[in-house]
Amino acid sequence: MKISILGTGYVGAVTGACFAELGNDVVFVDIDPAKLDMIRTGRSPIFEPGLDELLAKNLHRISATTDTALAIRETEATFICVGTPSNPDGSIDLQYIAAASEAIGEVLREKESWHTVVMKSTVVSGTTTGIVRRRLEEASGKEAFRDFGLASNPEFLREGSALTDVFSPDRIVMGVEDPRSREVLETLYATFTCPKLVTAIPVAEMIKYVSNAFLATKISFANEIGNLCKTMGIDTAEVFAGVGLDARINPAFFRSGIGFGGSCFPKDVRALIAQAGAAGLPPKILQSVVAVNEEQPLRLVALLKKHLPDLKGKRIGVLGLAFKPDTDDIRESRAIPIIGELRKEGAGVIAYDPLAIAHFRSLFPEITYASSAAEVLECDAVLIITEWKEFEALDYTGKLVIDGRRVPKAAVGSIYEGVCW
């Protein structure tokens, strides 16, 4: 099949490369020519293990252009993968989605053959059949589901393991209203053997939000219980290993620590809260999920102050800046509030991360960045914020270590505190 991908950010780059690997011809569209140049030479515009190799391997099936009209004319389906930033009130900003829909609609006005528009970006339920449909119809002068197809196909990929998540998914969700769009998605995913759920479009959109909100809830729950376990001298991880053995509960996403970051959980939970609030149903559980997540990173600093009550002038080492290992992404990283608090307390910060220093420097140009993890261990105390594998190989003997992510080696021979253990 011939597919166009609007937006070559995280979701677009991964989705396009994976569809190419499945044998489809893929046209990437972006307003940024630099990203397109990278794709044309088989390099990913974002960091994701294995993605460069996948693009390079499938270059013969891949093209890249800034010309949206050309891409839509030459393909049968378009996946909208543009960004959905947050508004100050937590709701999502749909300006890029609206602009993309309008641009597609203008091309559909002249296009005679059938075209299916698929929403891949994460949007609150009602967006695709609401603003997207409206903009497409206004710009094209045509009717959705009759003159062109419209569908929702949310992604469930994690940064750092996105390719495995795409090729070995737990499920594929297809939100469709018309048989031709359904056929397009079923053809694209024909080789997958996982459960495939065909739903109405708003249901598909809701499945995505509720999945992320539930996983975020599991993490905040694990952290709240973890804080209690810590005061009782109980090992939280052992508790959740036992709890997770109940098949109704499942052990995943119960790792307690300093909370969830990234471009998805914090934003998606806030967007769902905003949507529920607008419906007159402010969600108490989700509000608490956010509240726990905001307090949790500061507990690391509170634990540090138990050992070093006055941080003024102290040199505090920070291991890890990315929101999780195997990514250079620092969006909503727990390192941000923690380093902010250390600075407020007057501490000098020396930080190291294998991939994320360049991004972090733009947020905190005034702190010192080490060129190796070992250098950080020279400080008065060390905080572990991201559980990079290489931090397992360090010698923490004699150091004061406050661990936010449970790196077992850090407890060996050190003065050690875990945030929830």
Q: Of residues 76-135, which lie at the interface with ligand UGA (CB under 6 A)?
A: 122
Residue 388 sits in the site that holds ligand UGA (CB under 6 A): no
Residue 292 sits in the site that holds ligand UGA (CB under 6 A): no
Q: Of residues 155-194, which lie at the interface with ligand UGA (CB under 6 A)?
A: 155-159
Determine phi and psi for 284, rounding to 5 degrees. Answer: -65, -40
Q: Of residues 139-158, which lie at the interface with ligand UGA (CB under 6 A)?
A: 155-158
What span, in angstroms and rounded, lies between the C-alpha atoms of 276 and 279?
A: 5
CB-nearer residue toward ligand UGA: 135 or 324: 324
Which amino acid makes up residue 25? D
Contacts of 396 (CB under 8 A, 6+ apart): 377, 382, 409, 410, 411, 412, 413, 414, 416
Parallel, antiparallel or unpaired: strands 172-176 and 149-152? antiparallel
Q: At what angle do helices 236-244 and 201-232 cross, to 10 degrees?
A: 140
Instruction: Decide: 369 and 335 in contact? Cβ < 8 Å.
Output: no
Q: Verify whether residue 264 is a known catalytic residue.
A: yes
Residue 356 sits in the site that holds ligand UGA (CB under 6 A): no
CB-nearer residue toward ligand UGA: 257 or 337: 257
What span, in angstroms and rounded, lies between the C-alpha atoms of 126 and 201?
A: 8
Among positions 19, 148, 221, 260, the unique one binding ligand UGA when judged by CB under 6 A = 260
Q: Please, what is the minimum distance in Å from the beta carbon of residue 222 to ligand UGA?
A: 7
Residues in the chain: 421
Residue 255 sits in the site that holds ligand UGA (CB under 6 A): yes
Count of residues near ligand UGA by CB under 6 A: 21
Residue 364 sits in the site that holds ligand UGA (CB under 6 A): no
Parallel, antiparallel or unpaired: strands 77-80 and 116-119? parallel
Q: b/e for 393-414, b at 16 or more Cβ within 10 A?
A: ebebeebbbbbbbbbeebbeeb
Q: Please, what is the minimum distance in Å from the beta carbon of residue 267 to ligand UGA?
A: 9
What span, in angstroms and rounded, lies between the C-alpha atoms of 175 and 186?
A: 11
Instruction: Decide: 177 and 143 in contact? Cβ < 8 Å.
Output: no
Determine phi and psi for 58, rounding to 5 degrees. Answer: -110, 20
Among positions 55, 219, 239, 304, the unique one binding ligand UGA when judged by CB under 6 A = 219
Among positions 19, 96, 221, 323, the unique one binding ligand UGA when judged by CB under 6 A = 323
Among the options 18, 81, 264, 420, which is catalytic?
264
Q: Please, what is the minimum distance in Å from the beta carbon of residue 333 to ligand UGA?
A: 7
Specify the stretch interacting with ligand UGA by CB under 6 A; choose among 27-35, 103-111, 254-262, 281-289: 254-262
CB-nearer residue toward ligand UGA: 202 or 320: 320
Beta bridge partners of 96: none
Q: Please, what is the minimum distance in Å from the beta carbon of residue 266 to ligand UGA?
A: 9
Specify the stretch interacting with ligand UGA by CB under 6 A; choose among 45-53, 102-110, 129-137, 212-220: 212-220
Q: Which helix (H) or strand (E) holds 368?
A: strand 368-369
Residue 421 sits in the site that holds ligand UGA (CB under 6 A): no
Helix H, strand E, coil C: the string for 250-271 is CCCCCCCCCCCCCCCHHHHHHH
Q: Please, what is the minimum distance in Å from the beta carbon of residue 32 to ligand UGA?
A: 21
Residue 404 sits in the site that holds ligand UGA (CB under 6 A): no
CB-nearer residue toward ligand UGA: 107 or 289: 289
Residues taking part in catalysis = 264
User: Which residues make up the interface to ligand UGA (CB under 6 A)?
Assistant: 122, 155-159, 212, 215, 219, 253-255, 257, 259-262, 264-265, 323-324
